[in-house]
Each structure stands twice: as structure tokens, then as C-alpha cells.
Amino acid sequence: MVWDFSAFGAQTALLSETCTMTYQELGARSGQIAAPVPPRSLVFLLARNSPAAIAGYVGFLQRGAVPVMLDAALDAELLAALWRAYRPRYAWLPEERAAAFAEGSEVLRQTGYVLLDLQEESIPLHEDLALLMTTSGSTGSPKLVRQSYGNLKSNIDSIIDYLRIGVSERAITNLPMHYVYGLSVLNTHLAAGASVVVTERTLFDRAFWKLVRERGVTSLAGVPYTYAMLKRLHFFRMDLPALHTLTQAGGKLDPELHAEFAEFAAREGKSFVVMYGAAEATARMGYLPAADAVRKTGAMGIAIPGGRFELVDEAGREITETDTVGELVYYGANVTMGYATSGADLALGDTRGGRYETGDLAKRDADGCYTVVGRKHRFLKLFGKRTNLQEVEHILRRHFGDIDVACAGTDDHLHVFVTDGALAAEIVPFLSGKLGVHRSAFAVKCIAAIPKNPSGKTVYRELEQYYDV
């Protein structure tokens, strides 16, 4: 059991534009959905931000079934490939996606969702396995992260602790629930007896902000793209009296944007909390306390309660000096069991032992506060000069303003992608001068849109098709 709703009974759990659901009602509805599913069954859950999807998720976890969290809009071909790799026994999905599993027989239907028995043989699942999350929500990669019941409990308890989530808190589903950040918002609020406003509306919809005001949303979670869009939407001028906490994860925020939101929060008496995490660590690994948001602009912060960071050099030796860059390694009970690439892997136990090499490069200051400076594999050698692609994107946004830009490439060939064709001619001479590298190392291409996954992260792999164009 992941949650104990018995203490929250008549308190509000979920709200939408049209209905309100108490914890007692959520428990009853989730139990009804999961009742036909035997414990230790594998379930594909095609998630959208709806009460039915949430009720199914809650029910399966409480019953001991193991959901695989997938995007309800996942391409049919990619979904079929995942089905072949894992052979789930059941699927809980929107009615309009039922055709993807034509061999399945309907078990029940509820508010736009249908439970299908896919007539597959049950496969062995490790007794600790609770949940499976994708490593790339939009590409349909068969690589899944195996999360245990202990992982979930550890991370939920830790996040509730450092964010001080209590029964009076109210979040909103502006992030997808098949994404670890969006799911962690749901998990923590349900565990604390708080409430969640459920909507599929986006930040660009006026009805979204009407919901935030009328439903008294107290916290808003976002990835870097979210905060870039909030600035464009003149968020600082909005009247949102109940909103007192802003959290950010899903990638490093540009220091300038970090500073603007930190200073806004300080002026308005709100909390701005930058966080750091990964599916491989259930959700969160680090956070920057709100009190340090202005003073430590650009920093990621400290390890969550119960966790620990260390830095290691290229030989794997621990770095004890301050302001020295190394790979960030995390230790904690929330480090997940490992990966799976097929159904056969779901019987495996813990292969990580509570240690996770993040692949991020970071440094630690004299206060013990960490700053991520880039990805281990997001560097290029440009004529022998090591170049941080994340920093190049930051330099371009700082110089040209609030632009959509992504940098990728191979050694000696840095490709810059923008959506504003008028900038193309200016970027190469600017970067050549700024980085001290001959202009032949750079290529600029204007594309219609920078590819993003549903959580707003740039999908750099999709840019490779333009390298030789």
C-alpha cells in the first residue's frame, strides 16, 4: 500500500471544472477499477490528466498491480512495440485508444476510460516492483525504470518534508502524470491529505488561470520551458492570491530566469524552490531551499532529506575540494531498482544498491551547495576546445533575448537550431567571436519548432535528422 486514505475520508482529494472527489470517493472508485485485476499483474496505463486516469493509477498501486505509465497520446506504432516488448495483462486507457488493443476484451468502463483484459500470460514480477516509468516519454523507447514500493515511500516522505506539504496545500496538473515530476506532485499531495486540481488545460488557456484562482491553487510546478512561458505570459502581473509556492525541476533554469523568479517570490512573500531529480531516483534528489533562491542563483542546492551527494573525477575518485567540477553521484533509498528493456527484466531485483551516477557535471561551494554545470555527454570538442552545449544555449539566449534555441552536433561541428530565421545570419559570427573558434565549426538552421517532449524538455535526438541538410 502506497497511501493510507483512512485519516482523510471526507477531505477533498481531486477537483476539476465540473466535480469534486473526496478521499473516500477516490478510494472507492479506484478500488472498483482495480478489483478485476489480480495482484502482481502488469498494466499499461495510458495517462492523461483526468480523474479516471488518476483513480486507475491509485487503484492499481494499492492492489499490488504494477502500472506502466505511458502518454495517452503515444504514437500507435510505438505503443505496439512496447506491447510486444512487455506483454501486459491489462490496459487502462482512454476509450478512443481501445482500438490499439483490438484483441483485448472489455472488463469495465468509467468516465471516458476502459479496462481491457489483453489475454496475455502473466509474467513474473519482482515482489518489490511497484511502478514502471519511461526514460523517454515521447519516443516509445522500451527502456523503463523499475521503481519499488520503498523507492516511492522514501521519495514521497522526503518531498513532503522539505516542501512542507500539508492538508491545506492544493496543486494543479499542469505537468503530465506519465512524467516523474508530474507524478511526484500527485503522489505527495495524496500522501499528505492535500488536494489536486485536475485539468488538461495548458498555461496558454485563460480557463487554466481561472481554475487556479477559483480553486485556490497554492503551488505551481514547472520545468524550464514552463518558466520561460510564464515570463512571456506576464505571470508577474497576475493576481493569484492563494499561490504561495513555485517549484522548478526537469533541467537547469537559465540563471537570469532563476534570478527573476527568485526575486519576484522574495518581493511577494512566496517560495521559489529549484529542485533536481530523475526517473532513476524515483523523482527528486536535490533542492535549493527557498531562503537561498536569491543568494544562490543558478545553483541546484543540497541533497533531499535522507539522501547524499558526492563528486567523482574521471578515475572515479571522490573530489573533496570546493569549486572543482566532477560527475555528480547520488546515494539514497529512492534510487530505483534499475532498468528494464523487456518483460523478462521485471523479475530482477535491485541492481543499483542505492547509488546512482547521474551523468551530470557539477561543483560544490564552501557551503556544501551544488551547481550543475552541464551533462557529461553534452560537450563537444571544437578544434580541441571543450565546449558545453548547455552553456552555448544560455549564451545565445542572454545575447539575443528570449529565443527558442537548441544546440547539438559532433566534434568540430556545432549545430544551432532556431525558430527565427532573421537571427540565422548573426549567430555564426557572434559565436565565433564569443568562443574564439573559427566560424567553420558552426552551422545554423531555422526550423519550425524546437522538438520538445510532453514535459517541455528538448528532444535533441530529433535534431540529428538536420545535421547534413
pLDDT range class, residue 301, cuts 50, 70, 90: very high
Q: Would you say 97 and 72 are in contact if contact means Cβ atoms under 8 Å apart? A: yes
Q: Which residue has the cell 527558442?
A: 404
**pLDDT of 453:** 80
In the predicted model, is pLDDT for residue 138 greater than 70?
no
Q: Which residue has the cell 519499488?
A: 148
pLDDT range class, residue 449, cuts 50, 70, 90: very high
* Residues in CB range of 92: below 8 A, 6 or more apart: 33, 43, 44, 45, 46, 53, 56, 60, 67, 113, 114, 115, 116
**pLDDT of 412:** 83
Residues forming beta bridges with residue 272, ordered by sequence position? 246
End-to-end CA distance of the chain: 53
Domains assigned to the chain: 15-122 (3.40.50.980), 150-333+350-375 (3.40.50.12780), 379-466 (3.30.300.30)
Mean pLDDT of 331-350: 97
* Residues in CB range of 295: below 8 A, 6 or more apart: none
The tens digit of pLDDT for each residue in 240-289 reads: 999 999 999 988 888 999 999 999 999 999 999 999 999 999 999 999 99
**Cα 14–187–132 angle (5° rounding)?**
120
In the predicted model, is pLDDT for residue 464 greater than 90?
no
Q: Which residue has the higher pLDDT, 75 or 95?
A: 95
Taking the model in full, what pTM does it have? 0.87
Report the alpha-carbon distance of residue 146 to residue 350 in Å, rounded.
9
Q: What is the CA radius of gyration of the chain?
A: 22
Residue type, 454: P
In the predicted model, is pLDDT for residue 137 greater than 70?
no
Longest dimension (CA), the chain: 67
Residue type, 36: P
Q: Would you say 89 and 297 are in contact if contact means Cβ atoms under 8 Å apart? A: no
**pLDDT of 252:** 86
The tens digit of pLDDT for each residue in 156-182 reads: 999 999 999 999 999 999 999 999 999
Average pLDDT, the chain: 93
Least confident of 189-198, 320-329, 343-352, 387-396: 387-396
The tens digit of pLDDT for each residue in 34-88 reads: 999 999 999 999 999 999 999 999 999 999 999 999 999 888 888 999 999 999 9
The tens digit of pLDDT for each residue in 6-31 reads: 999 999 999 998 889 999 999 999 99
Q: Which residue has the higher pLDDT, 73 or 153?
A: 153
User: For the chain, what is the HEC assignment?
Assistant: CCCCHHHCCCCEEEECCCCEEEHHHHHHHHHHHHCCCCCCCEEEEEECCCHHHHHHHHHHHHHCCEEEEEECCCCHHHHHHHHHHHCCCEEEEEHHHHHHHCCCEEEEEECCEEEEECCCCCCCCCCCEEEEEECCCCCCCCCEEEEEHHHHHHHHHHHHHHHCCCCCCEEECCCCCCCHHHHHHHHHHHHHCCEEECCCCCCCCHHHHHHHHHCCCCEEEECHHHHHHHHHCCHHHCCCCCCCEEEECCCCCCHHHHHHHHHHHHHHCCEEEEEEECHHHCCEEEEECHHHCCCCCCCCEEECCCCEEEEECCCCCEECCCCCCEEEEEECCCCCCEEECCHHHHHCCCCCCCEEEEEEEEEECCCCCEEEEEECCCEEEECCEEEEHHHHHHHHHHHHCCCCEEEEEECCEEEEEECCHHHHHHHHHHHHHHHCCCHHHEEEEECCCCCECCCCCECHHHHHHHCCC
* Residues in CB range of 216: below 8 A, 6 or more apart: 170, 242
Mean pLDDT of 383-391: 79
